[in-house]
Amino acid sequence: MLWTNPLSKKLPDYGNISNLEDKQAVAQKLACEVKDNQVIGVGSGSTSFLALQKIARTVKEKNFRCSFIPSSREIHMTCLALGLSVASLLDARPDWYFDGADEVDHDANLIKGRGGAMTREKMVMVAAPKTFILVDQTKFVEKLGRKFPIPVEVNQESANYVEEQLLKLGAHETKVRPAKGKDGAIVTESGHFILDAWFNDVSPALEKEIKSITGVIESGLFWGYKPEII
């Protein structure tokens, strides 16, 4: 029997996207950055989803031979559904990377990870010589941590220890992120939990301090990466 409608041909459903017009305008600006034969890293989330659609249209209209390194399985499926060539960090290095953010301060430091893909997002970002962060005005803050907690991806068996250490670092609240579509905690693509940690003071050293805790895989604090904000 022929498989006439595989999942790889269907765009993922991102539901109702907030600030849609602003995000579409930002996505259109980014599409102008695409050139032939580029390798492009793709972040996760609704803003990246909209930008990827605009970029795909540019690639097809200009017959560019580009490939894309996705930062999550969901974005991987989106690339396939749009007919884009997919690569990995094992066989290619991105010429540039784009992604959204949950919070951005005046020095372009970020909090990311509401989608749970911050580990791979950070891996692709550091591999790229240039990063574009796509945000609307609601994402700008005076100080990080005012609207969102810092997501911390942790080995499941280390969750209790990591929570203790985060509290010692100054977190005033931590919570294992619950899943919305099933009972229990959310599990990342690599099989880990996410601890959301609220800090009153997010310092330049905090990213490294969090990463130094045994059992921490990655954090959603992106400090000092100096992306270009669009």
Query: Catalytic residue numbers?
Result: 121
Q: Map the chain to HEC letters.
A: CCCCCCHHHCCCCCCCCCCHHHHHHHHHHHHCCCCCCCEEEECCCHHHHHHHHHHHHHHHHCCCCCEEEECCHHHHHHHHHCCCEECCCCCCCCCEEEECCCEECCCCCEECCCCCCHHHHHHHHHHCCCEEECCCHHHECCCCCCCCCEEEEECHHHHHHHHHHHHHCCEEEEEECECCCCCCECCCCCCCEEEEEEECCCCCCHHHHHHCCCCEEEECEECCCCCEEC
In one letter, which amino acid is 147?
Answer: K
* Contact between residue 132 and residue 98 where contact means Cβ atoms under 8 Å apart: yes
In one letter, which amino acid is 24?
Answer: Q
In whole angstroms, give the CA distance from residue 69 to residue 113: 18
Length of the chain: 230
Structure token digits, residue 47: 């803003």
